[in-house]
Amino acid sequence: MATDVKVPVLGESITEATIGEWLKQPGDPVKADEPIASLETDKVAVEVPSPVAGVMGAHAAKPGDTVEVGAVIAVIEEGGAAASAPAAAAKPAPAAAPAQIVAPAPAPAPAADDESGPPPLSPAVRRLVLEHGLDPSSIKGSGKDGRLTKDDVMAAVKSGAAQPAAAPATTPAPATAALPATGGRREERVRMTRLRQTIARRLKEAQDTAAMLTTFNDVDMTAVMEARAKYKDLFEKKHGVRLGFMGFFVKAACQALKDVPSVNASIDGDEIVYRDYVDVSVAVSAPNGLVVPVIRDAQDLSVAGIERTIGDFGKRAKDGTLKMDEMKGGTFTISNGGVFGSLMSTPIINPPQSAVLGLHRIEERPVVRDGQIVARPMMYLALSYDHRLIDGREAVTFLVALKNAIEDPTRLLIDL
């Protein structure tokens, strides 16, 4: 008996997806609810679980194909090869029966090896592994079920922990089929993922629609760094999450947005929509690229609540378990390029939002304090905004309010 595997409901207004990769191949044993395929939607990657236990049957679509919600993409043979062996043995065997019985016997062995072996690699991770010539089995995966992520591979490259891939022990190919060992010029064409296509389209729409401008400021991180160093152990012990910088910036941004409401507003036709709440979109890294989940009603959360929410988003982004609804409806975005080493950037707004705050790396720079040149841990801030709605005066006022709150965190407690 075969059971159809269908594309699940993907969220409101999402009617189709793209096959990202097959996690199980025909003949592989599968367990009930075990992921067998990865689908890419406009915003997230979604895993398709097996509805029953059995053996993977034929694929009805290949990676890169677009499939609609409810479409059959594969079948699961219940019992599969395991059930067919006794049946074959029960039938009267002709003279060649021993050979017929022995022939399929090795088939389950590779399947068992596949199940207990390393999890499959995503296309992006596979490219990185090949580019750097690494053995993926020597890298510890942090993703779901121990899968490798792009961050795992890059961390292994930087630390030198990964082993080089072993040379394949195969018969040498004919000389005419061999690629040049050195000096070759090769190109690779890889189809853009649905997520990357959506990102490209929306960013271009933002440039075409909004009158974008970026205003810069810098902030002395001394006070926040001292507070973090002093309280991080107690904070983690009490709240179960590490104290980072984003909690301070989200809290300070909420306070500054209250003082400059146009930065939290949006344009709808010929009307301006002002809000008395702040839903902060926070860019976090996922295996397939950056995703932007939303912290709802951030203005009502404590620093601990903000850090817990961000920590949960980061973990589930790596596992690929973020939900569609968690990435909709933000009113203001904070993007921290500093974690990748960025010194300065001009971030692009995420329509229909009207502004995005870019954070960057912290580095010691000479500044003047009380007539003396001293070294201070400084960070550049960048606010990109829609000039149709936000004037330069309002953008600068917002950045100054944010700067004051970060340089003197007491202001966050007494609402200054």
Q: What is the CATH number of the domain that holds 19?
A: 2.40.50.100
What's the CA dihedral at 295, 301, 307, 309 to 10 degrees?
-40
Q: Which two tokens stand for residue 293?
A: 């989940």
Kindly state whether residue 183 falls inside one of the protein's structural domains: no
Specify whether 153 is located in the same domain as 293. no
Would you name the residues annotated as active-site residues?
387, 391
Please tell me the predicted confidence (pLDDT) of residue 165.
Answer: 60
Residue 23 CA to residue 48 CA, distance in Å, equals 9
8 A C-beta contact, residue 327 and residue 292? yes
Structural domain harbouring 14: 2-115
Specify whether 295 is located in the same domain as 147. no
Kindly state whether residue 230 falls inside one of the protein's structural domains: yes
For the chain, the domain total comes to 3
Kindly state whether residue 291 falls inside one of the protein's structural domains: yes
Mean per-residue pLDDT for 163-180? 50
Specify whether 234 is located in the same domain as 254. yes
Specify whether 231 is located in the same domain as 344. yes
HEC sequence for 99-148: HHHHCCCCCHHHHHHHHHCCCCCCHHHHHHHHHHCECHHHCCCCCHHHCC
Specify whether 225 is located in the same domain as 125. no
Kindly state whether residue 343 falls inside one of the protein's structural domains: yes
8 A C-beta contact, residue 240 and residue 307? no
Peptide bond connecting 108 to the previous residue in cis, omega within 30 degrees of 0 = no
Give tens-digit pLDDT for 294-331: 999 999 999 999 999 998 888 888 777 788 788 888 99
Specify whether 325 is located in the same domain as 381. yes
Kindly state whether residue 32 falls inside one of the protein's structural domains: yes
Specify whether 297 is located in the same domain as 371. yes
Specify whether 341 is located in the same domain as 256. yes
Q: Which residue has the tokens 């989200």?
A: 250
Specify whether 92 is located in the same domain as 228. no
216 confidence band (pLDDT: 50, 70, 90): very high
Please tell me the predicted confidence (pLDDT) of residue 41.
Answer: 73
Would the CA dihedral through 189, 190, 196, 197 be positive or negative?
positive
Here the CATH number for the domain that contains residue 125 is 4.10.320.10
- The H-or-E segment that residue 311 falls in is helix 303-319
Kindly state whether residue 156 falls inside one of the protein's structural domains: yes
Please tell me the predicted confidence (pLDDT) of residue 100.
Answer: 43
Specify whether 154 is located in the same domain as 17. no
13 confidence band (pLDDT: 50, 70, 90): low
Kindly state whether residue 6 falls inside one of the protein's structural domains: yes
112 confidence band (pLDDT: 50, 70, 90): very low
Specify whether 225 is located in the same domain as 303. yes
Residue 238 has pLDDT above 50, yes or no: yes
Of the segments 59-68, 181-190, 374-383, which one has the largest average pLDDT value?
A: 374-383
